[in-house]
Structure 1
């Protein structure tokens, strides 16, 4: 079957399993952060585990990420750097930023966050006990902690006590950070006795007459086969690299965006869930962003749309801002910064459009109504001088009048700025990763985790960096343990 398209794989009957088929307690599909954690915890729980990975190496899309894990409630890094946090504050925040939140999952994630932090470090590395206070997409150095969401942005700062929870792997910048974790995870997986088969992908699920998943079909180049297993954990990534699924579910991630994913983020894992009746959730939610910072001083500027009006607090987390841009006429926006606050980024994702000596020139150059632009600029400057923003409640930390010409204008329009994105939806699951049908019942024997599962259910406006790695590893562990328990329970029954 083609990895592209929207076709759902056929389900194979249990009768197709030969008597001498290889048998494992748990089969995990995909060796990214979720699959690796699932395989490791299943093996540590006493299960025999087979881990299938379509690529020639481990890592998946996880290895391409910036290395943030969203963790809180009083981690060692938070305590060492004097950043006060609590389980309740973390819970309140994630509840506030989630779309159609599932409180049991958010509660489990927050309650287990400190333990999960310790578990990650036990793989063999330490997050640096340091805090990066600036506004950035990712720490430029090895600092272990920073704000990576909208914790200090209205209205969320009024709903939960803000705390930084973006824990970064101790590598400068955003390269190779998660690779360290994935390499250590591979070592622990091998030590635990997991059988890993690379360049081997699952193609179909095997189901018995009772509707329970009892195995998988696999393909390795021209070779195919079947494996028997009472528990299958699908952790095969999202669908951003499948243009047909993107067109059906998240058309905003179209041709004008750079897709963030690996070759195998083609939605096959999600469609495997569909094949046995699992419900899909939040499939229409993309993550989209074109950060206007760093440098952080640019956040003091004001964003206007094609009508010359502001539409979002500029101190918002970059994907929140970008989601609001998508809603403007023509997905157009411009960042205006005066000569006293402008700095130019070394690698601009949002390019400088031009500089203008007067507001009239600016309006003409941007093709926006001059009267509206002048009114917007005057109102912003008047209130910013008093440390106020009655329209969008921007934090006083980032308020400064933009009144000294000439003005620099950065181009935040879709198709001009370098927008990037990935998908957030996936298989509906319980807190332990069991795949669920539309009526809430579980598909016995099938589990899902990572980007092909819907767990914390954030939308793009509430997303915070680090939740992909954080929830993928956390709920991957739970799915692995749950799969191992199912295998042991069925083995006891004989």
Structure 2
């Protein structure tokens, strides 16, 4: 072992995103004297995928009074506070949402650990990290009859989105004395004869360097930025999906762990993907616009493919329960793209941060025929079918309305305003006719966020499990998007950052235990 003290640490975290930052700070607070974060990205790419999020955090809570003390955009005594409708979100509801969207496949012990640890993790982020939490009026509430009505179980975001998340982490890590080395990829995990982790080999300034530590936390994300691994695990068509976030998540953590016989688990054929701006960069996110390339207004209108057909039930559920899977459906369409379409009634409800001027290319027209003509210049193959699809939808909306005159449109609830059962693909909620000019269309494609397959962990410690013994590998932990077995096929929006915080805190705490035990043994 090297005697150079500069190469010895109590805990090394691989990954500078939200999950890794939570692990590093937790380790530092729980007794680790020297904590290091390494990341292969340059400093200007700090933050992993967390930087590209909207800052949404899903958590169990008891309603408005429970969360008012931790947000900065509503005072408990303000008039605004009296005009907010926010139902409590129970552990049972959070659990049911995950299990429902995964069709019962999620590891129940992982789900329980996430759900039961969510509110405490949120409080810790507020108290320790000074996370700039706000109520997500801009994404999770609608102003209906003078009241802000939250929907979909998720109510918290952060000021300045993911940029605010990472800025808060970086400030707190610096104050805590956590070291961060950029442009330092981890290339190998070190272990002793018993299989316990003893450190990491990294490449620094072009040379291989052996770093020593009794605890290592893997927080380097999935493999979504690797075209080859996407094609291998998800299918060849995924090589053309656009990368929403960091270009540095290329499966390194999985490869490192497999080399020390870690067990992999979960949905390696599944991922979080979403409706994404067709004109966004292909292989990496834009650190200025970041999450603004998301196009989540489909619940207010329709989505049609290049042949002029609808292919999903846009009103199946709230946006934050469907957006993580609809990107996949777009990728399956001819050419891997589609159009979102609205009329003048619904268009004003679109979020400006996603559909504002200068954010997205908009196509507008006074008639559906004119709109179809314009789209034909940009990849619409069947103008006649496009028009026929919209008109058939309008007829089904009218038929339902005539049969159900008491059902009213309300975007803040699953309003049941549907289409006539004769429509091949229904729109189950928020089915407004597309009849009032001007008409608006936006071209979208599939943006991949993170992959669901990953490493098997002990839910109580975040320790990585051995494929040989089935027990945790001593000194090796995992958090964030690298955790396997939690999400399958789909996930509830806002769960990702919370997952990183919950299991990051567990990993850091357990890493510190190993360090403290080692010090006690030596004394």
With normalisation by structure 1, the TM-score equals 0.76
Matched, 1:230 2:234: no
Question: Which of 419, 430, 439 is the equivalent residue of 1:408?
Answer: 439
Q: Which deviates more, 287-296 or 116-125?
A: 287-296
Q: Is the 8 A contact 2:132 2:165 kept in 1?
A: no
Q: Partners in 2 of 1:66 and 1:361 — Cα distance?
A: 33
Instruction: Go from structure 1 to structure 2 and tell me whether the alpha carbon gap of 1:458 and 1:127 turns closer, same or farther (over 3 Å shift).
Output: farther
Q: Is the 8 A contact 1:42 1:49 kept in 2?
A: no
Question: Which of 173, 176, 184 is the equivalent residue of 1:186?
Answer: 173
1:86-235 equivalences in 2 (<5 Å): 86-98=90-102, 100-123=105-128, 125=130, 127=132, 130=135, 132=137, 147=151, 151=152, 163=153, 165-171=154-160, 174=161, 176-190=163-177, 194-235=178-219
Q: Which deviates more, 327-336 or 205-214?
A: 327-336
Matched, 1:72 2:60: yes
**Superposition deviation, residue 204 in structure 1:** 0.7
Q: Partners in 2 of 1:145 and 1:476 — Cα distance?
A: 32
**Superposition deviation, residue 124 in structure 1:** 5.1
**1:434-460 deviations in Å (ceiling 9; x for gaps):** 11244643323211112222263243x
Q: Partners in 1 of 2:237 and 2:478 — Cα distance?
A: 24
Instruction: Go from structure 1 to structure 2 and tell me whether the alpha carbon gap of 1:332 and 1:47 turns closer, same or farther (over 3 Å shift).
Output: closer
SS of equivalent residue, structure 1 residue 272: helix
**Superposition deviation, residue 249 in structure 1:** 2.0
RMSD: 3.8
**1:303-326 deviations in Å (ceiling 9; x for gaps):** 345473553133642333333333
2:290 alignment partner in structure 1: none
Q: Partners in 2 of 1:294 and 1:271 — Cα distance?
A: 30
**Superposition deviation, residue 285 in structure 1:** 1.8
Is there any run of 5+ residues in structure 1 with no aligned partner, and where?
1-16, 152-162
Q: Is the 8 A contact 1:30 1:234 kept in 2?
A: yes
2:363 alignment partner in structure 1: 352
Q: Partners in 1 of 2:57 and 2:134 — Cα distance?
A: 14
Q: Partners in 1 of 2:520 and 2:95 — Cα distance?
A: 38
Q: Is the 8 A contact 2:398 2:433 kept in 1?
A: yes
With normalisation by structure 2, the TM-score equals 0.73
Q: Partners in 2 of 1:450 and 1:82 — Cα distance?
A: 31
1:379 alignment partner in structure 2: 396
Instruction: Go from structure 1 to structure 2 and tell me whether the alpha carbon gap of 1:253 and 1:465 turns closer, same or farther (over 3 Å shift).
Output: farther
Instruction: Go from structure 1 to structure 2 and tell me whether the alpha carbon gap of 1:371 and 1:117 turns closer, same or farther (over 3 Å shift).
Output: closer
The number of aligned residues is 445
Is there any run of 5+ residues in structure 2 with no aligned partner, and where?
70-75, 77-83, 278-292, 374-379, 408-416
